[in-house]
C-alpha cells in the first residue's frame, strides 16, 4: 500500500509538530516546513499528495505559495488552506488560486480529517 503524503506548511512550529504526529499516527506520511520559501523545491523533489497551508506567514505567505505552485499545475498537490484568519475574502482568494478547501484554526481534528479524506479522494 502506498501511503498518501501530506506536507504541512505553517510558521507555528507547535502546530506543525502536533499535527504531524496526529496525521502520522493514523497512517499518513507527513512532513512539515515552517515557512513558505522551500515549498516549491520540496514538492518538486518529493511526491506530495496534499499541502496543508497556512496563509499568514512572514516572508513567503500562503498566497505566495499558491501562486508559485500554480506554475507547475500538472504535478502539484491538492491544497487545504489552514488559517486563523478565516474570512470570506481569504477563502475566495484561496479557491481562486487553486485551494480545494479551507479550515479555520484552531482546527477541529475530526473536521480536518474529514476534509483531508474528501480532498484526497476527489479527482481534481
Ligand atoms: Mg501563521
Dump the DSSP string for 52-119. EE-S--SSS-HHHHHHHHGGGGGGPPEEEEEES---HHHHHHHHHTT--EEEESSPPHHHHHHHHHHH
Taking Cα atoms as reference points, which of 121, 119, 72 lies closest to residue 99? 119
54 Cα to the center of ligand 1, angstroms? 6
pLDDT of residue 85 exceeding 80, the answer is no
| Stretch 28-52: mean pLDDT | 95
Q: How confident is the model at residue 73 (pLDDT cuts 50, 70, 90)?
A: low
How many angstroms is it from 60 CA to the middle of ligand 1? Answer: 11
Residues with CB under 5 A from ligand 1 (ion): 11, 54, 56-57
The helix/strand/coil state of 17 is helix
CA 50–ligand 1 middle distance (angstroms):
18
List the 5-9 sheet strands across, edge first. Answer: 29-33, 5-9, 50-53, 78-83, 101-104
Q: Please state which architecture CATH assigns to domain 10-15+25-121.
A: 3-Layer(aba) Sandwich (3.40)
Q: Is the pLDDT of residue 72 over 80?
A: no
Q: What is the pLDDT of residue 111?
A: 96
For residue 112, the model assigns a pLDDT of 97
| pLDDT tops 90 at residue 108 | yes
Distance 46 CA to ligand 1 centre (A): 23
Cα(2) to ligand 1 centroid in Å equals 30
Distance 5 CA to ligand 1 centre (A): 22
- String of b and e for 95-109 (b: at least 16 CB within 10 Å)? eebebbbbbbbebee
pLDDT value at residue 2:
74
Q: What is the pLDDT of residues 18-33, one digit of tens each?
A: 999 999 999 999 999 9
Amino acid at each position: 500500500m502506498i501511503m498518501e503524503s501530506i506536507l504541512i506548511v505553517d510558521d507555528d512550529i507547535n502546530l506543525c509538530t502536533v499535527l504531524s504526529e496526529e496525521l502520522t499516527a493514523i497512517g499518513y506520511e507527513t512532513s512539515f516546513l515552517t515557512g513558505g520559501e522551500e515549498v516549491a523545491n520540496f514538492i518538486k523533489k518529493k511526491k506530495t499528495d496534499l499541502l496543508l497551508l497556512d496563509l499568514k506567514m512572514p516572508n513567503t505567505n500562503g498566497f505566495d505559495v499558491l501562486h508559485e505552485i500554480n506554475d507547475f499545475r500538472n504535478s502539484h498537490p491538492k491544497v487545504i488552506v489552514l488559517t486563523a484568519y478565516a474570512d470570506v475574502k481569504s477563502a475566495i482568494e484561496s479557491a481562486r488560486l487553486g485551494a480545494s478547501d479551507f479550515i479555520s484554526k484552531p482546527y477541529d481534528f475530526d473536521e480536518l480529517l474529514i476534509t483531508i479524506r474528501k480532498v484526497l479522494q476527489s479527482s481534481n
